[in-house]
Structure 1
């Protein structure tokens, strides 16, 4: 049997074993499909809108009514109540019926017309951080917009044109344009990175399940045996699963969920192949350490969240202890998450992610070297077991 035929035989045998194992089949293929719809679901709205708020109008003037109208027109706010006093609104706030309150004090319009400093108060429900932030920012924008309008009218009275008044009001213009996360939503920020972790963890769980089953049965599904050809064929089979799942996420899910994508397509393909091979080699090395079907699953599930934090996506790398900053590169997801986000979302070049590529190459080399030694050790064990006489 030549080398190419031996590798192909091991490749096909591994695929047959994966398809014959219902548990592994569910994790390796169905798991990614289920996660692709389940995980982004809580972030489908992307931006919080129509947060319920109330207005306490103690001034009952034309200016207070203008503030109320602006609050009703704000896209992030939903004015559900306008009350003349505070106690009734406080009860709504404590019950969670509203997330914020705009308090317009008595005499607000008189102070503004007299040129005195006037103040309006905003209060929020700190129990829900996201809703509280949107409510307070929205109400503050309402007050700021009305205040700017009043200032423009005063400046217009002393200048020849409204354009000059606007220029004096804001001599330096600021235009905020989000470049990559154009919706500024949490889903577009976290899901592209977590998708890489999902591919890795589902593959590792499925592989450790298969290896545990093969060890328990004392039978590996390889006609080529524990040879170099068998190792390479199995490695390519598992890498093809990771490659298919990555293509599904980056090619379909991101388009379907309308996440930022397509920054550097060619570079992403290169990283896809390297990441798939590295995860497969890492999984084979890990699988050869377990002798039961359940142990690898327990380890992968328990470590999924720490692995995400170590990747530096949701936790600043500089705040990690120095040993963790170095050890985190022993996981394929660290370089994979940073590299895929940079290529697919930010449009980086391969040169700009050279550290991630180098990390994956070194990890792949180490996993293949150690895994091949372990693979040969398994071959020797099988040979010794075959030579032992039956009792």
Structure 2
């Protein structure tokens, strides 16, 4: 199976051996019988295949992990109860007191807030290399480099191949949060990144009805993350949620094509509107990193668009957001439904005003998650909403 559309349907799945069910059954169980003491001991020691307890592994979750490992081109993957649980498990599994974590931002506010909180509590230095550049920020204490394939919410890019090469030359693992792009648009591991992470709650699920996260990469790194996340933190994904993600991923390539089509139409409309000061979307030719986006992204530029109003103030943003009819005000993204939010007061309220300003998160910035509705209807909704500030 070489095509992503085919692999999204079939990878990690097969008809159930007992019933012939095509959909992967939900293994709604806490524990698994292992027959004999010796066989149980071998499973617990990792010397024999098998399941022991759903906090560590579950057949439904394992099918999802196999599917995502295939789509990301990774030897292994481990699923979690949320994207934040996945992030926490990576940080706790790979960092120790005295280590340094370097990130290239701007990041999702929840991620940066978590990093800085853990840093303060556990004695981990957290360094923002956005302004200085990665090469200047790396030190002998650096143990992890973090980047997003498209930054949240201003949709900047970093050259992932360059990031991977710089870090690898110093023996430092790299992590790319690929939530905004999914494997349909970007595959960071192919560019040399060591671990790729998703909030599956977003595009992978696609229907706003399941919460989860996943990390994919080498057996060694994923094994360390799994040991911490499952064995010590207990952030395991429930089998019912895994079933919903397996279902959602089957249509991921088709949905992403619709998201990209709608986002490009919305971005072009906003770029020509007099009430809009700036539009952040890498698919626009005027985007300062459009050439990098063309080189690094595949099959489209994503379903996220953010824009800054000419009246760059919270009251103006509220006036526009409160008039929207098709776009629902909500903080998630990647749903079939279109969503809109004010990052400064929601997703990035976890970080300081200074950090928001440095990342371009102004009071007049609005973030859109463009759904799969017809682009004409979405543009019409934005057009009538913008009359509030025209």
Give the TM interval when normalised to the shorter protein: under 0.3
Q: Which has the higher contact order (CA 8 A, sep 6+)?
A: 1
Name whichever structure is richer in strand by fraction. 2
Question: TM-score when scaled to structure 2?
Answer: 0.23
| Bigger Cα Rg | 1
Question: TM-score when scaled to structure 1?
Answer: 0.23
Name whichever structure is richer in helix by fraction. 1
